[in-house]
């Protein structure tokens, strides 16, 4: 077998046995009855994370946070994905859409 082919085969074997690189940790926040569940989410400080916001209501909602610099519309019966971090240890408040009936979903992400 020529040296170039042996080198390519060796490279493919090395790539094939290399451990898979893990994706960002994923967390899910549900919206039910215009409330975030869980209302408080703990994530590791200093790591980038993926948050899936799952709106199970029949009406649109928002995920809005000044401290996280995020504002995303979440259509009814759908999901959005946010990537945040790495965050310093602390508490980061987020809320839903300001509604005319006074019901606003509130939540906190605690990085520690």
Domain boundaries, the chain: 22-111
Q: Are the C-beta atoms of 62 and 96 separated by less than 8 Å?
A: yes
CATH 3.40.50.300 assigned to 22-111: no
Q: What integer pLDDT is reported at residue 24 of this predicted model?
A: 82
Per-residue pLDDT in tens (0 to 9) along the chain, 112 residues: 565 555 555 454 444 444 445 578 999 999 999 999 999 999 999 999 999 999 999 999 999 999 999 999 999 999 999 999 999 999 999 999 866 676 688 999 999 9
Q: Give the pLDDT score at 39.
A: 96
What's the chain's Rg over C-alpha atoms?
Answer: 21
86: preceding bond cis by omega (within 30 degrees): yes
The pLDDT of residue 97 is 82
Task: Note the pLDDT of residue 15.
Answer: 47
Q: How far apart are the first and last CA of the chain?
A: 55
Residue with tokens 């759908």: 78
CA 18 – CA 32 distance, rounded (Å):
42
């Amino acid at each position: 077998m020529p040296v170039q082919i042996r080198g390519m085969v060796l490279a493919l074997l090395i790539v094939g046995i290399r451990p898979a690189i893990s994706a960002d940790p994923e967390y899910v926040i549900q919206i039910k009855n215009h409330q975030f569940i869980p209302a408080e989410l703990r994530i590791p400080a200093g790591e980038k994370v993926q948050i899936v916001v799952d709106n199970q209501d029949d009406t649109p909602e928002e995920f809005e946070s000044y401290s996280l610099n995020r504002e995303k519309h979440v259509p009814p019966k759908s999901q959005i994905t946010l990537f945040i971090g790495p965050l310093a240890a602390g508490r980061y408040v987020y809320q839903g859409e300001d509604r005319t009936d006074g019901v606003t979903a509130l939540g906190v992400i605690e990085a520690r």
